[in-house]
Chains A and B, each alone.
Chain A
Amino acid sequence: MAGMTAGWPAWLREHVWEIRFRRYVALMLAVVLVAAGVWGGMTLAREDRSCAPGIERPEGSDECVGVSTTAYDFGQRRLTDVIAAIDRENDSIASRARVTVAVFQPFSTADNDTLRELQGAYLAQYEANHHESGQTPAVRLVLADPGADSAHWRETVDALGRMAKGPDRLRAVTGIGSSTDTNKEAVRELTRLGIPVIGTSITADDLANGQNGKDPFPGLARVAPTNTDLARALTSSARISTDRAYLVYDKPGDPYTRTLRQSFERLLKGSPYQPSAFHPPQDRTREGATANAFRNITFNICDTPRTTDTLLFAGRHTQLRQFVNALGRRGCLDRKFTVLTGDEGSYLTSDKELETAALGRNLTVRYTALAHFDAWTDNPPARGGSRADARTLAKLLAQAEHEPVGPIGSAPLDGGQLTVAYDATRLAVKGIRQATPDGSRFPGLADVGDVWPQLRGSLRVYGASGWLCLDNHGNPYDKAVPIVELTPAGGSEFVELAWPEGRPPKDNCLPPA
Chain B
Amino acid sequence: MVHSSLHGRGALFDTEPPGLAPRLTGLRPYQHIPTPYEHQGELPFVVLAGGRGLGKSAVLGELRSAYRGHTPVALIDGEDAQFDRPSPDGHAESWSPVSQATVTIAEQLAEPVTGAGRISFPRLASGLLAVAAGGWSDRDLPRIRQEAERILLMNDTGSWVAGFAGRWIGKVVAKLVASLSETGPVVEPIIEAALEAFGEGVAPTQRRLRKGAAWYCDYPNAGGNPKLGLILLSGHFRAGGASHTHAERYLVRALLADLDDAYAGVVQRAHRLGRPVVLIDNVQEPAGFHLMESVLRDRADGIADRVVFFAALRGHGHPALRNTVRRTLPELARGSGWVPGSAPSSRALLVALPPLSPDETLHMVNAACPGQPTHPQLPHAVHRLTDGNPLGIALIAESARQNLPQGAVSLGELLMADVALHDDRTGHPAHRELLDRLAPDDRLDELTVLAAAHDRDSAFVLAETGLPDDFGTAGVLDLEERLAQEGRPGTPGHFVGDPFLRVLLLLRLHRHDPDHAAWQWVHRTLIDHCRGTSPDHSGYRVRHELALGNVDFAVAHLRDTFLRLDTCDWLSALVLIASAPCYDAYDPEGRHLGNELYDDRGAVALGRTDAAQHLPDGVDVTLHLRVRRILHAVWQLTDPLVLPDPRVTERLRWELEQLSNQKPAGSETLWRASRDWPADAAAGRPFRVPGDDEEQNGGH
Contact = CB atoms under 8 A, between A and B. Distances in A.
Given A1-B13, A1-B15, A24-B270, A19 B115 contact: yes
A42 interface: no
A20 B265 CA distance: 13
Contact-size category for A: 10 to 19
A404 B343 CA distance: 102
Contacts of A2: 3, 15-16, 28, 31
Contact of A21 (B14, B32, B115): B115
Residue among A5, A13, A19 facing the most chain B CB atoms (10 A cut-off): A19
A20 B269 contact: yes
A506 interface: no
Interface string B254-273: 00000000000001011111
Contact of B267 (A1, A6, A14, A21): A21
B1 A22 contact: no
Interface in A1-42: 1-2, 4-6, 10, 13-15, 18-22, 24
B224 interface: no
A22 B115 CA distance: 8
B143 to A, nearest CB: 41
B114 A15 contact: yes
Nearest to B22: A2
Given A1-B13, A2-B16, A14-B33, A19 B271 contact: yes
Contacts of A6: 1
Contact of B32 (A4, A15, A24): A15
Given A1-B3, A14-B31, A24-B270, A19 B15 contact: no
Instruction: Tell me the dominant secondary structure on chain B's binding face.
Output: loop
Interface in B13-52: 13-16, 28-29, 31-34
Given A1-B10, A5-B1, A13 B33 contact: yes
Contacts of B34: 18
B4 interface: yes
A263 to B, nearest CB: 87
Nearest to B70: A14
A24 B267 CA distance: 11
A19 B33 contact: no
Interface residues of B, number: 23
Interface in B364-401: none
A181 B115 CA distance: 73
A6 B31 CA distance: 10
A4 B29 CA distance: 12
B14 A1 contact: yes
Residue among A2, A10, A18, A20 facing the most chain B CB atoms (10 A cut-off): A2
Contacts of B272: 19
Interface in B419-461: none
A188 B116 CA distance: 71
Contacts of B14: 1
Contacts of B16: 2
Contacts of B13: 1
Given A1-B13, A1-B14, A21 B271 contact: yes
Contacts of A5: 1, 31
Nearest to B3: A1
B266 to A, nearest CB: 9
Residue among B1, B34, B269 facing the most chain A CB atoms (10 A cut-off): B1
A15 B70 CA distance: 10
Contacts of A13: 32-33
Contacts of B267: 21
Interface string A169-211: 0000000000000000000000000000000000000000000
Nearest to B274: A18
Nearest to A23: B270
Given A1-B3, A4-B1, A21-B267, A15 B31 contact: no
Contacts of A15: 32, 114-115
Interface in B267-300: 267, 269-273
B1 A19 contact: no
A20 B3 CA distance: 25
A475 B33 CA distance: 87
Residue among B14, B115, B272 facing the most chain A CB atoms (10 A cut-off): B115
A21 B115 CA distance: 8
Contact of B270 (A4, A14, A20): A20
B35 to A, nearest CB: 10
Contacts of B32: 13-15, 18-19
Interface of B: 1, 3-4, 10, 13-16, 28-29, 31-34, 114-116, 267, 269-273
Smallest CB-CB A-B distances: 5 pairs: A14-B32, A19-B115, A2-B15, A21-B270, A20-B270
Given A2-B15, A19-B271, A20-B271, 9 more contacts: A1-B13, A1-B15, A2-B3, A6-B1, A14-B32, A19-B270, A20-B270, A21-B115, A21-B267
27 contacts: A1-B14, A1-B15, A1-B29, A2-B3, A4-B1, A5-B1, A10-B1, A10-B31, A13-B32, A13-B33, A14-B31, A14-B32, A14-B33, A15-B32, A15-B114, A18-B33, A18-B115, A18-B273, A19-B32, A19-B114, A19-B115, A19-B273, A20-B269, A20-B271, A21-B270, A21-B271, A22-B115
